[in-house]
């Protein structure tokens, strides 16, 4: 057994396979991988029990999705089934290596995996590197992977806490497991904290009432440690309740260690989507784990401290750092409200000044109104000229009321001739070559609220140097 201690955790690994089979909080004594919960001995388990991963009390390490063709995609390499080629145990660091790996449906592959786990203060930092010498693309890498996740002794609940657009969100894990993937899409209840459809989520807290485990991005990327998250590796989290619910009516997890003769367990893993090409060697963004005591605020503070080491946000002006109220007038939408001309904006600012409102976030000022005509951000001529908008902003800010122009720079309005003629070739595309589509936002009229003429929005390629110009239909 290999042991690594951090300021908040004790981790134990197998010397044969490198799997993580022990994770304990030094702060509270919480046995995070639930010794005895959902586990059985080798003699109890026996041969051919149908367990997909063959994972026992030894735990999990990593998992790789390696599609063999368009017709044979769901092919995994399971770390717990691979023998270690070598390991090094240094003070505060373990280096685990696998040279070559066997997939479930494709036999042996020339793929090297190196996992370094090191202690850094309270955190255990998992840094995995893939040397893809095979002829296939490594699409997904799961690491670190937790199995038999269990609540602390005496806890009434366990949940996942993550960011969701502009607020926090919480999803139950135990005793109820909230699956947010369709019943038709996976073999067991599955949870991905994607918030408002966000493909990347930089951290998640696995938390009970007064303690938890923070799992988060340690740096923007392995090659670019100072990169911000938008330029970092693509990463999210995935939870699974195996083999399924004890009661699907209320999404209740099994109370005992097994159900229908199958081991009952909760898994939670970091899910990378690096698309490592044949012949490519890639180190993925490190992921850190740290235990804490307290509420969700204490867990988020841990991630915020990590983030300060690799993300450097723009310096906000002094006025934006003070507590104050904003007003958000919606002056136009794709259904053409045309509520206020630019020349009227200073009158609104005078009223804001009277009642202590420090800023106006102007929404729908752009050509066509909010969510129409994107990515054009020229002023809507029906509300006034560019010079009228510029003059109105100057008057408002001269009073001490700041103006923030609401904008969506990366979206294109699919309903325009501009998009059909030009912009479609600059859109982000899926593996089939088709552009991605966001359903859009519905405004005002019954026709749009019924989703009949909603303006669909297309994400454009972030790296395009296409000049920003507007071609009206």
Tens of pLDDT, residue by residue over 160-212, are: 999 887 788 999 999 999 999 988 999 999 999 875 556 678 999 999 999 99
Mean pLDDT of 126-149: 97
Mean pLDDT of 85-114: 97
pLDDT at 47: 34
Q: Is residue 226 predicted with pLDDT exceeding 60?
A: no
pLDDT band, very low/low/confident/very high, at 321 (cuts 50, 70, 90): confident
The two tokens of residue 411 are 């979206």
Give the CATH class of 318-459: alpha beta
Q: Is residue 82 predicted with pLDDT exceeding 50?
A: yes
pLDDT at 35: 54
Task: Kindly report the average pLDDT of the chain as a whole number.
Answer: 89
- Lowest model confidence (mean pLDDT) among 70-79, 141-150, 268-277, 312-321: 312-321
Mean pLDDT of 67-85: 95
Q: How far apart are CA 336 and CA 63, in angstroms?
A: 51
Residue 407, preceding peptide bond in cis (omega within 30° of 0): no
**What does pTM read for this prediction?**
0.87
CA angle 149, 152, 155 (to 5 degrees): 120
Mean pLDDT of 380-398: 97
pLDDT band, very low/low/confident/very high, at 58 (cuts 50, 70, 90): low
With contact defined as beta carbons under 8 Å apart, do 215 and 167 qualify?
Answer: no
Domain ranges for the chain: 2-308, 318-459
Share of the chain above pLDDT 90, in %: 77
The correct CATH number of 2-308 out of 2.70.98, 1.10.8, 1.20.120, 3.30.420 is 2.70.98
Q: Is residue 360 predicted with pLDDT exceeding 90?
A: yes
pLDDT band, very low/low/confident/very high, at 55 (cuts 50, 70, 90): very low
Per-residue model confidence as pLDDT tens digits over 412-440: 999 999 999 999 999 999 999 999 999 99
């Amino acid at each position: 057994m290999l042991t690594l201690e951090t300021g908040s955790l004790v981790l134990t690994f197998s010397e044969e396979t490198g799997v993580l089979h022990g994770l304990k909080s030094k702060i509270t004594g919480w046995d995070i991988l639930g010794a005895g919960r959902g586990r059985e001995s080798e003699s109890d388990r026996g041969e051919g029990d149908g367990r997909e991963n063959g994972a026992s009390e030894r735990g999990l390490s990593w998992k790789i999705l390696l599609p063999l063709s368009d017709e044979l995609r769901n092919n995994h390499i399971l770390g717990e089934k691979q023998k270690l080629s070598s390991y090094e145990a240094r003070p505060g660091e373990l280096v685990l290596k696998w040279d070559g790996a066997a997939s479930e449906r494709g036999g042996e592959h020339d793929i090297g995996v190196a996992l370094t786990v090191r202690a850094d203060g309270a955190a255990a930092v998992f840094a995995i590197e893939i040397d893809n010498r095979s002829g296939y693309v490594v699409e997904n890498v799961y690491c670190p992977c937790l199995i038999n996740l269990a609540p602390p002794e005496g806890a009434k609940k366990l949940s996942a806490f993550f960011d969701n657009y502009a607020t926090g969100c919480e999803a139950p894990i135990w005793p109820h497991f909230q699956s947010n993937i369709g019943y038709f899409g996976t073999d067991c209840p599955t949870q991905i904290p994607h918030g408002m459809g966000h493909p990347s989520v930089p951290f998640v807290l696995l938390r009970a009432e007064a303690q938890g485990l923070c799992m988060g991005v340690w740096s923007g990327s392995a090659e670019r440690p100072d990169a911000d998250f938008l330029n970092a590796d693509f990463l999210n989290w995935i939870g699974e309740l195996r083999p399924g619910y004890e009661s699907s009516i209320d999404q209740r997890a099994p109370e005992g260690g097994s159900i229908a003769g199958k081991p009952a367990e909760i898994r939670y893993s970091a899910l990378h989507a690096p698309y490592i090409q044949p012949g490519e060697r890639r180190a993925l963004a490190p992921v850190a784990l740290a235990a804490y005591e307290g509420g969700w605020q204490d867990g988020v503070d841990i991630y915020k401290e990590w983030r300060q080491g690799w993300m450097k946000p723009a310096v906000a002006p002094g006025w934006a750092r003070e507590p104050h109220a904003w007003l958000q007038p919606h002056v136009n939408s794709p259904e053409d409200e045309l509520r206020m001309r630019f020349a009227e904006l200073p009158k609104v600012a005078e009223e804001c000044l009277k009642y202590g409102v420090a800023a106006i976030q102007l929404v729908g000022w752009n050509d066509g109104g909010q969510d129409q005509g994107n990515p054009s951000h020229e002023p809507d001529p029906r509300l006034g000229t560019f010079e009228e908008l510029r003059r109105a902003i100057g008057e408002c800010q001269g009073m001490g009321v700041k103006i923030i122009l609401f904008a969506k720079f990366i979206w294109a309005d699919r309903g325009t001739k501009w998009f059909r003629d030009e912009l479609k070739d600059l859109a982000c595309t899926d593996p089939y070559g088709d552009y991605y589509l966001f359903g859009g936002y519905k405004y005002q009229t019954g026709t749009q609220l019924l989703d009949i003429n909603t303006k669909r929005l297309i994400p454009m390629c972030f790296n395009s140097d296409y000049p920003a110009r507007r071609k009206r239909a």
